[in-house]
A = this chain, B = another copy of it.
């Protein structure tokens, strides 16, 4: 590797960055991403929502994609509701996903396109991939040693995405929610050893 002695890799001014402003920008970017999707998010709109200027963004991130990748990394891990009715908790989570697929059918397909177009976004999404909140909810219904927890957790995400991308008829989120939840209930009924209850 050749050195470039005339260039300083770290071009910061010495003044500590405004951490609160950085957080506000990342939160605004994450919120706006979930609202309007990759196709329509604009740096200008992130700046306005954060109460910042575009300059404040471009001093921190060289491109919109770099901002969005860090906003994705900065998103809080999803938490599952935990009541004494685990099927109701599952229904809440599945319904959220299905409603999002119905109301914003471009959101996840747009994410897939953005991941294919930008390595930083792909890395951020894949490294943050975590369905443990869903797996834990399923384990409360089916038992912690049920053999299908992983594939069922994926199913809760994959079916809404697949239908949003491919099925010609319009999605009905409440029907889709019940198809998925009742599938898991049917497995739970099979998993229950009747004699032992």
Contact = CB atoms under 8 A, between A and B. Distances in A.
A179 interface: yes
A51 interface: no
A40 interface: no
A161 B157 CA distance: 11
A112 B165 contact: yes
A189 interface: yes
A163 interface: yes
Q: Give chain A's interface secondary structure class.
A: helix
Identical chains in the assembly:
2
A7 interface: no
Contacts of A157: 162, 166
Contacts of A176: 151
**Interface bin, chain A:** 35 or more
Contacts of A183: 148, 151-152, 187
A154 B155 CA distance: 10
Given A150-B179, A158-B162, A162-B162, 5 more contacts: A112-B165, A154-B167, A157-B166, A186-B187, A187-B190
